[in-house]
Each structure stands twice: as structure tokens, then as C-alpha cells.
């Protein structure tokens, strides 16, 4: 037994911030139940839970990728356009034929992964800031989409459409697939070198480089995966709507929503800190809010006000609960002050 257990061994999967994320989630869930009940309705109907899970699925896929990109210290603003391009490409290739399903899926996912790779190369090698690089690539994809497609296009393969409607119990199959992808990505982060290097590069690029890591590698891997997951999100939309649409990603607002979900999940925007479980909690919080506001038939614009307030409150709580006790090299007298500076910087 090592003497330092006084320090507490850091829990590997659920960090303290992630615990708080789920506490916030349960508070939101409890309030939602109470509010629904006070209006004479029930929150926990099977139909409502199904809707709630469905609405987590698309944002879930996008947020898995966004979490990776944020952990490495970058951002992905091109995701909504990748969702859209995946939807039009897959629906276009499938053209309503189940025989074309595999080629439709492959076309969409290869395209979005390659665009993600371009993002990664721009950030990792050309060293363009992630915000700017993905914004620009997103604009280019958006221009391509709207100059080549007008309104909905193509048709989902029937097999894909039925997969979109299938569920096991009240849990949609697509949600289960999303969850499995999330678990696989958790394993990637915890059990592979590149996963650990994602955290290292996001945490301190200079130290990572000094330790012999090629910083571009984790950056390129995360951006490519973000492209892949945005593509899968596009497929989920095609499965549900039956057609592809050049504006469907933008309408979903998946760029800012996914970033918000990741931040709500306790990740630090500067990188190096956060977890996929936290991001999942962030998505569940959003989905619960949407669901209860739907039940209460609130003005949809008011939803955004509530979302905004929740993000501010949650992130303020995280900042207080996880004051970094970083000890600096020459602190002694000024330690308190510098620590507070680092809090301000590191926690938004």
C-alpha cells in the first residue's frame, strides 16, 4: 500500500468533473419530471424516452468527434456541412435501392473522413488554427452543397430506413450503435498510444514534442475521426428522413451544439482535459431540456435561452469544483494568485 493514497487515486473513467456533469443531469431530469407532473403530464412515458434517445443520437455521433478534436486542443466547425454532405451523397447513391446501401454508406463515410483528414492536415501540418481551418473547409463544403443540390435529394435504402426505425425495447438501434461507438472511442483514448497522446498534445504541446511525440499525428487522427462520426450522423438523418438534404446539418446547428455539449460535459476548450462520458452527460442534459420544453410546449426560441443559461451555470460550477492545485515552480508567496490566473485561463 503506497503512502500517498491520502492524495486519492484518480478514478480512471469518471473524473470528479464527470460526476458533477451527471449530478447536473439528474437535477435537470428531476426538475423536468416535477415540471411535467405539475402540468399534469408524465415525463417517463415510453414514447417520450424514445424521442429523448433519438434526439441524442445524431448530436451524440457529432459530439464524439467534437470531443476528440477539443481534447487535442482544436475545434471542428465543419461538422454541420459534413453531416449534410454525408446525407446527400448516401441518399444519392442509394437511390432507394437496398442493393446500393453499402456503396452509399461507403461513399458518404469515405468522403467525410477525407475532409476530416484535410482539416487535420491543415491544423497539424500547415499549423492553421483549428477554428479558422475548419471554418474555411466548412464554407467550401457548404458552397459545393448549395451549388450542386437544391432541396432534398435521393432516397434512403429501405434497409437503412427500417434500421432507423428499429428499436430494442424502447431503445432505438441507432442509439445503441452510437453508444457502442462511444465505448470504442473511450477505449481508443484510454488504451492506445495515440489516445494518450491526444490528451498530451492538448495538455501541453511543447512537453509532448519534447517527449518525442509527433504532435501532428494525434491532431490528424482526431480530425479524421470527427469527419467519420459527422458522416455517420448524416447517415442517421437519412435513415430517419428517408432523403438527403444539403441544409440538414446547418439546420441542426451541430457545430455549436456539439461544442456546447462537450463543454457542458466538463471538457476544457483549450484541450487536454475532458471525457466522452462527460460529453454524453452534456448531450443527455440538452436532450432532457428539449424534451421537457417540448412537453410544456414552450416557445422554441426560449429553448435557446434555457440552453445558454444551463451552460453558463454548469461551467461556473465546474470551474469552482476543480480549481487546479497546480504547484508552480517558484510560487511560495504568490501561489494563490497564479493558481487563480490558471483557473481563469484553463476553465473558460
Partner 1 sequence: MKLVFALQARGISKSFFGYPALSNVDLDIRRGEVHGLVGENGAGKSTLMKILAGVYAKDSGFVRLNGEEVDFSHPVQAYKAGISTVFQEFNLIAERTVAENIFLGREPRVHGFVSRREMTRRTEALFDTLGVDSINPAVRVRQLSVAQQQIVEIAKALSYEPRIISMDEPTSALADHEVELLYGIISRLTARGVSILYVSHRMREIFDLCDRITVLKDGQLVATHDAAELTEQELVRLMVGRSLSALFPPVAPGTTVGEVALELEHAGNGLVDDVSLVLRRGEIVGMAGLQGSGRTEVLEGISGAAPFTRGFLRLNGERALIRRPKQAIRKGIAHITEDRKATGLTLNQSVMDNALAVIRSTQPSKAGKARHRANQLFLELELAARGPDQEIKFLSGGNQQKVVLAKWLLAEPRIILLDEPTRGIDVGARHALYSVIRSLAAAGHAILMVSSELPEVIGMADRILVMKDGRLAAELPLGSSEEAILQAASGVSASEVAA
- Determine the interface stretch with partner 1 among 21-29, 139-147, 209-217, 237-245 (rule: CB under 8 A): 209-217
Q: Does 213 bind partner 1 (CB under 8 A)?
A: yes
- Determine the interface stretch with partner 1 among 156-164, 204-212, 223-231, 241-249 (rule: CB under 8 A): 204-212
- Determine the interface stretch with partner 1 among 2-10, 56-64, 126-134, 154-162 (rule: CB under 8 A): 2-10
Q: Does 277 bind partner 1 (CB under 8 A)?
A: no
Q: Which residues contact 324 (CB under 8 A, 6 or more apart)?
A: 339, 342, 343, 346
Question: Which one of residues 129, 211, 299, 340 is an interface residue with partner 1 (CB under 8 A)?
Answer: 211
- Here's the x/- map for partner 1, 122-161, by CB under 8 A: it reads as ----------------------------------------
Rg (CA), the chain: 21
Q: Does 10 bind partner 1 (CB under 8 A)?
A: yes
Residue with cell 499549423: 127
Question: Could you write out the DSSP letters of every residue in 37-73?
Answer: HHTT--S--HHHHHHHHHHHHHHHHHHHHHHHHHHTT
Q: Does 343 bind partner 1 (CB under 8 A)?
A: no
- Determine the interface stretch with partner 1 among 8-16, 26-34, 91-99, 229-237 (rule: CB under 8 A): 8-16
Q: Does 324 bind partner 1 (CB under 8 A)?
A: yes
**Cα distances (angstroms) measured from residue 122 to each of 66, 156, 338:** 17, 33, 34
Q: Closest approach of Cβ 268 to partner 1, in Å?
A: 8
Collapsing DSSP to helix, strand or coil, 254 comes out as helix
Q: Closest approach of Cβ 345 to partner 1, in Å?
A: 12
**Cα distances (angstroms) measured from residue 218 to each of 36, 69, 124, 191, 199:** 45, 9, 9, 14, 9
Taking each helix axis as running N to C, give the angle between helix 101-124 and helix 158-165, from 0 to 180 degrees, rounded to the nearest 10.
70
Q: How many helices (H) and strands (E) does the chain have?
A: 15, 2
Question: Could you write out the DSSP letters of every residue in 306-348?
Answer: HHHHHHHHHHHHHHHHT---PPPSS-GGGHHHHHHHHHHHHT-
- Determine the interface stretch with partner 1 among 93-101, 158-166, 201-209, 233-241 (rule: CB under 8 A): 201-209
- How many Å apart are CA 199 and CA 223, to the nearest integer? 14
Q: Does 337 bind partner 1 (CB under 8 A)?
A: yes
- Determine the interface stretch with partner 1 among 48-56, 82-90, 110-118, 191-199 (rule: CB under 8 A): 191-199
Q: Does 319 bind partner 1 (CB under 8 A)?
A: no
Question: Which one of residues 82, 88, 133, 200 is an interface residue with partner 1 (CB under 8 A)?
Answer: 200
Q: Does 168 bind partner 1 (CB under 8 A)?
A: no
Q: Which residues contact 332 (CB under 8 A, 6 or more apart)?
A: none
Question: Which one of residues 73, 265, 272, 281 is an interface residue with partner 1 (CB under 8 A)?
Answer: 272
Residues contributing to the site for partner 1 (CB under 8 A): 2-5, 7-10, 12, 190-193, 195-197, 199-200, 203-204, 207-208, 210-213, 272-273, 324-334, 337
Amino acid at each position: 500500500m503506497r503512502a500517498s493514497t491520502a492524495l486519492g487515486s484518480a478514478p480512471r473513467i469518471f473524473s470528479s468533473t464527470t460526476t458533477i456533469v451527471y449530478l447536473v443531469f439528474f437535477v435537470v431530469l428531476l426538475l423536468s419530471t416535477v415540471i411535467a407532473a405539475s402540468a399534469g403530464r408524465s415525463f417517463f412515458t415510453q414514447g417520450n424516452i424514445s424521442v429523448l434517445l433519438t434526439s441524442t443520437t445524431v448530436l451524440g455521433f457529432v459530439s464524439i468527434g467534437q470531443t476528440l478534436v477539443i481534447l487535442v486542443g482544436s475545434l471542428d466547425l465543419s461538422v454541420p456541412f459534413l453531416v449534410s454532405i454525408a446525407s446527400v451523397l448516401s441518399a444519392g447513391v442509394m437511390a432507394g435501392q437496398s442493393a446500393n446501401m453499402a456503396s452509399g454508406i461507403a461513399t458518404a463515410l469515405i468522403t467525410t473522413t477525407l475532409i476530416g483528414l484535410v482539416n487535420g492536415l491543415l491544423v497539424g501540418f500547415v499549423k492553421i488554427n483549428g477554428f479558422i481551418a475548419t471554418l474555411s473547409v466548412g464554407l467550401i463544403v457548404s458552397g459545393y452543397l448549395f451549388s450542386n443540390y437544391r432541396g432534398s435529394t435521393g432516397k434512403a435504402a429501405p434497409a437503412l430506413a427500417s434500421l432507423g426505425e428499429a428499436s430494442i425495447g424502447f431503445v432505438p438501434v441507432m442509439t445503441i450503435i452510437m453508444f457502442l461507438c462511444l465505448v470504442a472511442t473511450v477505449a481508443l483514448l484510454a488504451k492506445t498510444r495515440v489516445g494518450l497522446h491526444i490528451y498530451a498534445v492538448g495538455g501541453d504541446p511543447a512537453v509532448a514534442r519534447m517527449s518525442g511525440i509527433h504532435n501532428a499525428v494525434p491532431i490528424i487522427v482526431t480530425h479524421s475521426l470527427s469527419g467519420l462520426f459527422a458522416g455517420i450522423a448524416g447517415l442517421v438523418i437519412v435513415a430517419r428522413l428517408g432523403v438527403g438534404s444539403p441544409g440538414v446539418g446547418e439546420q441542426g446547428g451541430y457545430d455549436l451544439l456539439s461544442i456546447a455539449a462537450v463543454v457542458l460535459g466538463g471538457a476544457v476548450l483549450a484541450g487536454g482535459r475532458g471525457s466522452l462520458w462527460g460529453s454524453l452527460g452534456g448531450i443527455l442534459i440538452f436532450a432532457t431540456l428539449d424534451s421537457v420544453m417540448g412537453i410544456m410546449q414552450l416557445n422554441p426560441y426560449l429553448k435557446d435561452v434555457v440552453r445558454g443559461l444551463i451552460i453558463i451555470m454548469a461551467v461556473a460550477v465546474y470551474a469552482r469544483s476543480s480549481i487546479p492545485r497546480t504547484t508552480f515552480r517558484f510560487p511560495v508567496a504568490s501561489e494563490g494568485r497564479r493558481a487563480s490566473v490558471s483557473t481563469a485561463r484553463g476553465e473558460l
